[in-house]
């Protein structure tokens, strides 16, 4: 077995890991372009009633953490509305009280209240808590005036995993002076060092109708809120304890599945659970037994009109817990083209579910290291045998915002095939490049995948640099993916190629010009070359001379893409339509309009047109959305491609309908209907999530699928393929 890069490279990375600078001892801190913000938390003497009312004496006697500044639209200006934040704590919780004063309380926007809703439209409060004060990782909590609960994990000073869920609570109130939010975050939901007297902390307030963002710290256009390095500090924390660090979350589930086309029917019950134990305050052990993913949302439909595999994100809860620890080599705007570890390879095989018998995960911090180890065992089924999978990841933090790391995976979903993957990566980042207060990072990785019976040419290598800032964003990357690089637990889009990317974005903010908030002008160049033959496989040039966003929130874009593709073998782009091998060059033009999110209705429309392979095609996509705030969110979307080629015409259609209704922030009905004419399948999923109280949930899921078939008389009909109902109760016990 050949790993794909030489032993000295591995040894070099190991030497860096062991002998590199120790951030625990500290390196020189980077200069800030604004004074560091500091606030004080106060221990509550009396019990706090979580009701959104901040008139209690405990809140009134606690000092505000300090004034906010505008980030947008006017960097550094005083906010148009006042915001006050106070922090309390006791032996059980950290409490954060926010008073959002508003001179026009009737104009406050709150369109959603479901768990983990997209609050980008609404007035909202966002909170960042860096419990280890490492300036790179943090917890994220957010709410709007309707009391929605939204949370996530921030890793590596800017990447957020919004699918992570914690046990916490919030209550909001609207009044004549604005609105208030009262957060209660249990200490048992946070990993922290008890001896640390201060935590990294930041708060952002968005005023939806004004498209205004105000921040407590890091109020600069070049700084994203999730950049933990720019947060302030909240001190005064003393005598904190997280309990025994043991949580048990058993579940009981029942399901009925019926398949009229085959005559099969299944009724079964199931029990299992997840268990969590804090080995140290910063290192958590998670175990799962007889894992059930009944509550998982179905994937969005995609039709592949390219010759390379599509990417579907992970949505299953066990794999999303501390998932950021396992991220490897993902940065910049070029997307996931090579992932040495992709958790969807575990428990899913050719779009069929493989039951997981048990799994264990150890993830968190150990001194100056971030570590993650995952082991999972799947059951034997009628189409595959029992399998065991291992993934291990370690990163050592160096300097202020940088790391070096390694990854190892073992196991394969394929029968009778051994597979191992080994890689190393480095990220060097700063938010004060050359003393300018701007962001810059450089990243590199080398990965090898070894499979039985395959030797040589089994590596992948990447070097990338990025300057992501508000006015200018410049990115460049080089990626080499060798012919036999095939990580069994990973994702590879285009093997046997060398890819080069370069992109530039210029985004000025012309004050007072036609009501334009920001102009985005961009171009990018991507080039793929076959390694084995040295021939150019494809290249693409994209430019958008006009991509403007107005102060109203509306956006309009005009763009052009020139593309060259060489097919080395014939390619069936659609059923019965085959493109011959050879060279193709075509030009595509795009017109796009997105209306503002601030209205009850929203329209998104995109039209690609022009030459396409050997002929022409129109690609139409869009969405109409209507919100009856804050309970109902209804939407209809489409994605249509109409191609006219000498080899034959074809149409690809995806139609989607969705309607979500929230009775309260703790009870929501989700409905999704999707149809595509590639599979000729119409699918309907209804999900109900009822949070009895944080950590105790009831799920009810209904699925039904129909096949759009042609009858003997030539007419078409929808025939039921399968249907199923699942009910699940999970209950968390905390010790």
3-state secondary structure 468-504: ECCCEEEEEEEEEECCCCCCCCCEECCCCEEEEEEEE
Closest CA to 575 of 650, 640, 643: 650
pLDDT in tens, 86-136: 999 999 999 999 999 999 999 999 999 999 999 998 999 999 999 999 888
Sign of CA dihedral 364, 366, 369, 372: negative
Q: Which of 14-23, 256-265, 445-454, 717-726 has the highest mean predicted lDDT (pLDDT)? A: 717-726
Asked whether the beta carbons of 285 and 277 are under 8 A apart, the reply is yes
Q: Is the separation of the CB atoms in 442 and 430 below 8 Å?
A: no
CA atoms within 13 A on the CB side of 630: 25
Q: Does residue 5 surpass a pLDDT of 80?
A: no
Determine the average pLDDT of the residues in 254-281: 89
Contact by Cβ (8 Å): 169, 49: no
Question: CB-hemisphere CA count at 13 Å for 672?
Answer: 13
Residue 371 has pLDDT above 90, yes or no: yes
pLDDT over 70 at 14, yes or no: no
- Reported as a pLDDT band with limits 50, 70 and 90, residue 27 is very low
Q: For residue 25, what pLDDT band results from cuts at 50, 70 and 90?
A: very low
Q: Over the Cα atoms of the chain, what is R_g?
A: 26
Contact 276, 284 (CB under 8 A): yes
Question: What is residue 432's three-state secondary structure?
Answer: coil
Question: Which residue do the tokens 């993902």 mark?
Answer: 330
Q: Are 209 and 194 in contact (CB under 8 A)?
A: no
Model pLDDT, residue 519: 96
Environment class of 266 (CB within 10 Å of its CB; exposed 0-12, middle 13-18, buried 19+): exposed
pLDDT at 556 over 80: yes
pTM, entire model: 0.85
Residue length, the chain? 735
Nearest to 158 by CA among 224, 92, 212: 224
Please work out, in degrees rounded to the nearest 5, the angle formed at the alpha carbon of residue 200 by the alpha carbons of 220 and 64.
80
Average pLDDT (336-353) is 86
Q: How far apart are CA 397 and CA 427, in angstroms?
A: 10
Residue 4 has pLDDT above 70, yes or no: no
Helices then strands, counting H and E runs in the chain, come out as 3, 46
Range with the poorest average pLDDT among 178-182, 265-269, 414-418, 689-693: 414-418
Cα 428 to Cα 402: distance, rounded to the nearest angstrom: 5
Tally of CA atoms within 13 A in the half-sphere of 430 that contains its CB:
14
Mean pLDDT, the chain, as a whole number?
A: 89
C-alpha angle 222-226-231 in degrees, rounded to nearest 5: 80
What integer pLDDT is reported at residue 3 of this predicted model? Answer: 37
Per-residue confidence (pLDDT) for residue 28, from 0 to 100: 33
In contact, 83 and 179? CB cutoff 8 Å: no
Given a contact cutoff of 8 angstroms between Cβ atoms, the answer to whether 366 and 380 are in contact is no
Q: What is the structure's pLDDT at 19?
A: 31
On the question of pLDDT at 337 being above 60, the answer is yes
**Integer distance in angstroms from the first to the last C-alpha of the chain?**
47
Q: What is the pLDDT of residue 35?
A: 61
Predicted local confidence at residue 244, as pLDDT: 77
SS3 508: coil
What percent of the chain has pLDDT above 90? 70
Alpha-helical (H) ranges within 349-478 are none
In this structure, are residues 449 and 5 in contact, taking their beta carbons and an 8 Å threshold? no
pLDDT for the residue numbered 9: 35
Q: What pLDDT sits at residue 281?
A: 80
Q: How confident is the model at residue 336 (pLDDT cuts 50, 70, 90)?
A: low
Residue 313: pLDDT band with limits 50, 70, 90: confident
Q: How confident is the model at residue 29 (pLDDT cuts 50, 70, 90)?
A: very low
What's residue 415's pLDDT?
65
Model confidence over 684-697: pLDDT tens digits?
999 999 999 999 99
- The DSSP line for 95-119 is EEEEEEE-S-GGG------STT---
Residue tagged 């060279």 (tokens): 583
Are the CB atoms for 205 and 235 separated by under 8 Å?
no
6 pLDDT tier (thresholds 50, 70, 90): very low
Q: Over the stretch 268-305, which tens digit does the pLDDT of each residue have?
A: 999 999 999 989 888 889 999 998 887 888 888 999 99
- Higher-confidence residue: 637 or 437? 637
- Res 416: pLDDT: 58
Residue 162: its pLDDT value, please?
Answer: 81
Query: How many whole angstroms separate alpha carbon 340 and alpha carbon 329?
Result: 9
Q: What are the residues facing 615 on neighbouring strands?
A: 612
Of 315, 322, 376, 387, the C-alpha closest to 349 is: 387
When pLDDT is cut at 50, 70 and 90, the band that residue 1 belongs to is very low
Mean pLDDT of 478-504: 93
**What is the C-alpha to C-alpha distance for residues 478 and 462, in angstroms, rounded to an integer?**
6
- As a whole number of angstroms, the distance between CA 60 and CA 53 comes to 11
Per residue in 625-676, pLDDT (tens digit) is 999 989 999 999 999 999 999 999 999 999 999 999 999 999 999 999 999 9
Q: Which one has a higher pLDDT value, 263 or 141?
A: 141
The two three-digit tokens of residue 53, written as one number: 């009312």
Name the percent of the chain lying above pLDDT 70.
Answer: 93
Reading phi first (left if > 0) and then psi (alpha if -120 to 50, else beta), residue 305 is in alpha
105 φ, ψ (degrees, to nearest 5)? -60, -25
pLDDT exceeds cutoff 90 at 53: yes
| Reported confidence tier of residue 453, pLDDT bands at 50, 70, 90 | low
Cis peptide before 73 (omega within 30 of 0): yes
Between 28-42, 483-497, 543-557, 695-709, the lowest mean confidence (pLDDT) is in: 28-42
Which domains occur in the chain, in start order? 1-20+309-493 (no CATH), 31-235 (2.60.40.1190)
What is the DSSP pairing of strand 83-89 with strand 42-43? parallel
């Amino acid at each position: 077995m050949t790993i794909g890069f030489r032993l000295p490279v591995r040894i070099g990375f190991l030497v860096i890991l062991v002998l590199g600078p120790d951030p625990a001892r500290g390196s020189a801190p980077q200069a800030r372009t604004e004074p560091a913000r500091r606030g004080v938390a106060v221990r509550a003497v009396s019990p706090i009633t979580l009701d959104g009312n901040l008139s209690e004496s405990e809140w009134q006697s606690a000092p505000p953490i300090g004034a906010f500044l505008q980030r947008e639209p006017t960097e550094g200006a005083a906010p148009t509305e006042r915001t006050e934040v106070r922090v309390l704590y006791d032996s059980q919780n950290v409490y954060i009280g926010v008073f959002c004063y508003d001179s026009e309380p009737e104009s406050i926007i709150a369109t959603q209240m479901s768990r983990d809703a997209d609050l980008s439209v609404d007035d909202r409060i966002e909170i960042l808590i860096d419990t280890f004060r490492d300036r790179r990782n943090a917890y994220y909590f957010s709410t709007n005036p309707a009391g929605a609960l939204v949370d996530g994990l921030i890793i590596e000073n800017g990447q957020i995993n919004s699918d992570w869920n914690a046990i916490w609570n919030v209550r909001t109130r609207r009044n004549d002076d604005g609105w208030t939010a009262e957060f209660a975050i249990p200490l048992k939901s946070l990993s922290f060092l008890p001896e640390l007297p201060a935590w990294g902390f930041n708060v952002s307030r968005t005023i939806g109708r004004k498209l205004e963002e105000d921040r407590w710290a890091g109020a600069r256009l070049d700084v994203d809120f999730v950049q933990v390095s720019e947060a302030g500090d909240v001190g005064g924390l003393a005598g904190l304890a997280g309990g025994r660090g043991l949580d048990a979350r058993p579940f009981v589930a029942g399901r009925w599945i019926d398949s009229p086309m085959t005559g099969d029917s299944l009724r079964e019950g199931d029990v299992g659970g997840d268990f969590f134990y804090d080995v140290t305050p910063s290192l958590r052990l998670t175990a799962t037994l007889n894992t059930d993913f009944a509550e998982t949302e179905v994937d969005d439909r995609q039709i592949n009109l390219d010759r390379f595999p599509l990417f579907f994100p992970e949505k299953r809860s066990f794999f999303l817990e501390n998932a950021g620890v396992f991220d490897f080599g993902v940065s910049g705007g070029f997307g996931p083209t090579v992932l040495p570890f992709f958790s969807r390879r575990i428990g899913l095989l050719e779009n069929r579910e493989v039951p997981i018998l048990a799994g264990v995960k150890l993830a968190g911090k150990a001194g100056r290291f971030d570590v993650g180890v995952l082991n999972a065992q799947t059951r034997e089924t009628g189409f595959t045998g029992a399998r065991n999978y291992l993934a291990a990841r370690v990163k050592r933090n160096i300097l202020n915002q940088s790391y070096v790391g390694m990854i190892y995976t073992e196991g394969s979903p394929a029968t009778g095939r051994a597979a191992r993957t080994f890689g190393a990566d480095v990220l060097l980042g700063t938010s004060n490049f050359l003393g300018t207060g701007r962001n810059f990072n450089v990243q590199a990785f080398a990965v090898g995948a070894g499979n039985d019976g395959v030797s040589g040419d089994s590596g992948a290598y990447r070097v990338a640099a990025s300057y992501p800032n508000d006015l200018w964003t410049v990115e460049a990357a080089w990626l080499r993916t060798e012919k036999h690089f095939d990580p069994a637990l990973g994702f590879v889009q285009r093997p046997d190629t060398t890819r080069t990317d370069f992109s530039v974005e210029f985004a000025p903010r012309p004050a007072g010009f036609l009501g334009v908030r920001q102009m985005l002008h961009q171009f990018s160049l991507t080039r793929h070359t076959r390694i084995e033959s040295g021939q150019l496989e494809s290249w693409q040039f994209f430019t958008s001379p006009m991509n403007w966003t107005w102060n109203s929130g509306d956006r309009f874009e005009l763009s052009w893409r020139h593309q060259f593709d060489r097919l080395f073998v014939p390619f069936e782009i659609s059923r019965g339509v085959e493109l011959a091998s050879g060279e193709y060059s075509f030009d595509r033009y795009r017109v796009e309009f997105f209306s503002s999110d601030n209205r009850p209705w929203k329209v998104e429309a995109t039209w690609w047109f022009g030459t396409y392979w050997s002929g022409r095609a129109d690609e139409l996509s869009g969405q109409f959305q209507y919100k009856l705030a804050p309970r109902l969110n209804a939407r209809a979307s489409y994605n249509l491609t109409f191609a006219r080629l000498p080899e034959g015409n074809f149409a690809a259609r995806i139609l989607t309908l969705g309607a979500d209704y929230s009775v309260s922030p703790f009870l929501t009905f989700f409905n999704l209907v999707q149809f595509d004419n590639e599979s000729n399948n119409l699918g309907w999923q209804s999900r109900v999530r009822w949070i009895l109280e944080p950590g105790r949930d009831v799920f009810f899921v209904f699925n039904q699928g129909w096949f759009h078939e042609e009858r003997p008389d030539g007419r078409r009909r929808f025939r039921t393929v399968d249907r199923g109902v699942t009910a699940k109760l999970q209950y968390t016990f905390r010790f």
